[in-house]
Structure 1
Amino acid sequence: MIRPWLELARISNLPTVWTNVTAGWLLADGGLGNPVLLWMLLAGSLLYTGGMILNDAADVKFDREHRKERPIPSGKVSAVMAWSVGLGMLVGGWCVAVLVAGASVSITTALVGCILFYDLYHKPWSGAVWVMGMCRVLLMLMAMGPGISVRLGLSEAAQLFNLGCVYDTGHWSLSPVQIMALGLGGYIVGLTMVARLESKKGSASPGQRLFAYALLGMPVISFAVILMRLGNFKPLSILADFTPLLLFIIPGVFVLWVMFAMRVMRQGGPAIGRAVGLLLAGIPIVDALAVSVVSLPLALGFVALAPVLRLWQRWIAAT
């Protein structure tokens, strides 16, 4: 039966990996017609799916007590098979990314390490949420690695330090890919922290809440920094071309999406899980912010994907 495996893989979240990879690729000046992008999408899919399967395999003891309906404790999938398939996918994803697509060995290996670390320690250590955010950061950096390596002629030893950086006025600075990757990582950490704080109700301090909401809003900050870096923001006159204002549609959609999710989350109880699903489905909107400076039509397509993922979550849960 395929459904238990789809549940293990949280397959409804898989398109968010595709948008992460595509956003990193395009921000690094990669072309949509380049076949290497397809290999990167395959690599990202294998790494994500393998990591999700291993997540359940590592949680089997907890799930046997608290979530007996999950595929492994219910007997639909054996723990040995889950470990075998999950590890096999991680190895396969690493090989496709590094050996076929030419991604950085350092970045890809770090991503696999973060995936394994999170799977093994996210239950005993609450700080593992930062590792989860780093997984998305590294995924986006891995996606843009082949293009930047060829263009700058970087050796493998230099890629980890210089990957995605731009040389400006005599010093290295963060590139648009790195800036947006940090925004994406902050969003992932923020949505988890907000959910935890809402479940605690009054026990959370105002400072903790402010910090969590600031992380959740990091993609908009990253987007603003990229606009200023690329010079895409220009003053308007009475007869000016208002086309550049279309770029601000997506930040507005992002803010409205997050606000709606927060309104749902404040209902408490099962609504917190629904709100987390909304925020996870909103990841393509985060990637749309990045892609909008390259291709506005594609960015709008990413935005349209968010409600589709929310509907898909009704069939296969996102968490």
Structure 2
Amino acid sequence: MTRRENAPGRQGGTGEAATQTRPEPHGRSGRARAWAELLRLPALFSVPGDALAGTAAAGAPPNSRTLLAIGSSLCLYEAGMALNDWADREVDAVERPHRPLPSGRVRPSAALTAACVLTAGGLALAARAGRPALAVAAPLAATVWAYDLTLKHTPAGPVAMAAARGLDLLLGAAATTGRAREALPSAALLGTHTLAVTTVSRQEAQGGSPLAPLAALATTALLTRAVTNRRPDHREAAAHDLPGPRATRPPEPAPGRKAAAHVTTLLAAAYAATTARPYVHAALNPSPPLTQRAVGAGIRATIPLQATLAARSEGPARALLIAALAPLGARFAKKVSVT
């Protein structure tokens, strides 16, 4: 949920980011560009899928409280972006002087104020969605701040990042239905993916061992297998458990379930394809450029994974809506870097 999920290691940046984030002239357009870079606006396309996947996992259609959860997630995500640049302003002055704070295009006090205001806004929106939503949003906000200010460069950093993503998915379920227990498996899967990406990112500046990308590749394979296992429909399972001849053969899935299974398989394949080659390349040559590409691929893969989780829970319509955010995010990322 913080910018460190987009560049979790933060010790350095990609060459692509350096070329995409050159200082702009002063003036209204220059200030807007600086804030867009600070807040990593294209990364916002990876946020709504958390709440939508959580709502699907809870077995409920989206409602007005789902929109409040998405708004809360967006605010807390951007709070993490602003806070992370504020916390890293001295490192950026050496390693990434073109960033908005060290280049002087955004004042550090303004970035910190934005982080506070966005955090308050996120919690307020969650409170509007109900107490269960606020009960998830509060630890989510605490995790964002703890990561940016304390945990980022510690062994607990990847775990905190994974927890933030998982909590964000649970926020959608809690806001929509008032409960989040049913969404815990989906939150664990999404958090595991985030843990793998964040672990790889910790060596993106200097390079390192091939073990991290290999572990991430293995994690992707396991997650792909896990999300393509069809979740049994409760009515089908009940019919299968009835005594008599029907119990001797598995029930036939309904046509809608078949369609959902096909969409789930396709989206899971897209998720695996997004990360497989970059992880392999980073494992064969764990240099900073290839490691950075692997991290970028892992970030982009978040959206097809969210869509897969939604498809396996509630069918293809919501999943395809989430998947449609991927090309939009990629398009805007050409103008403003997400790292």
- TM-score with structure 1 setting the length: 0.80
Is residue 47–residue 74 contact of structure 2 (8 Å, CA) maintained in 1?
Answer: yes
Identity, in percent, stands at 23
Q: CA deviation at 1:51?
A: 1.1
Correspondence for 2:44 = 14
- Residue 253 of structure 1 aligns with an amino acid whose one-letter code is A
Output the CA distance in 2 between the equivalents of 1:209 and 1:264: 9
User: Would the alpha carbon gap of residues 102 and 221 (structure 1) be closer, same or farther in structure 2, given more than 3 Å must change?
Assistant: farther
- TM-score with structure 2 setting the length: 0.75
Is residue 42–residue 93 contact of structure 1 (8 Å, CA) maintained in 2?
Answer: yes
Correspondence for 2:198 = 192
Correspondence for 1:227 = 231
- Residue 52 of structure 2 aligns with an amino acid whose one-letter code is T
Q: Which stretches in structure 1 are left out of the alignment for 5+ residues? A: 150-162, 166-174
Q: CA deviation at 1:283?
A: 0.9
Correspondence for 1:153 = none
RMSD value, Cα: 2.9
Matched positions, count: 290
Output the CA distance in 2 between the equivalents of 1:111 and 1:120: 14
User: Would the alpha carbon gap of residues 99 and 246 (structure 1) be closer, same or farther in structure 2, given more than 3 Å must change?
Assistant: closer
Is residue 190–residue 215 contact of structure 1 (8 Å, CA) maintained in 2?
Answer: yes
Correspondence for 1:98 = 127
Q: CA deviation at 1:312?
A: 2.5
- Residue 100 of structure 2 aligns with an amino acid whose one-letter code is P
User: Would the alpha carbon gap of residues 90 and 198 (structure 1) be closer, same or farther in structure 2, given more than 3 Å must change?
Assistant: closer
Is residue 165–residue 191 contact of structure 2 (8 Å, CA) maintained in 1?
Answer: yes
- Residue 309 of structure 1 aligns with an amino acid whose one-letter code is G
User: Would the alpha carbon gap of residues 245 and 143 (structure 1) be closer, same or farther in structure 2, given more than 3 Å must change?
Assistant: closer
**Partner SS, residue 108 of structure 1:** helix
Output the CA distance in 2 between the equivalents of 1:123 and 1:245: 39
Output the CA distance in 2 between the equivalents of 1:28 and 1:296: 15
Match of 2:176 among 131, 137, 147: 147
Correspondence for 2:300 = 281
Correspondence for 2:180 = 164
Correspondence for 2:162 = 133
Structure 2 residue 182 is the aligned partner of structure 1 residue 179:
no
Correspondence for 2:264 = 247
Is residue 13–residue 280 contact of structure 1 (8 Å, CA) maintained in 2?
Answer: no
Q: Which stretches in structure 2 are left out of the alignment for 5+ residues? A: 1-30, 238-249
Q: CA deviation at 1:216?
A: 3.8
Output the CA distance in 2 between the equivalents of 1:12 and 1:4: 13
- Residue 250 of structure 1 aligns with an amino acid whose one-letter code is L
Correspondence for 1:310 = 330
Higher relative contact order (CA 8 A, sep 6+): 2
Correspondence for 1:299 = 319
Output the CA distance in 1 between the equivalents of 2:235 and 2:276: 29
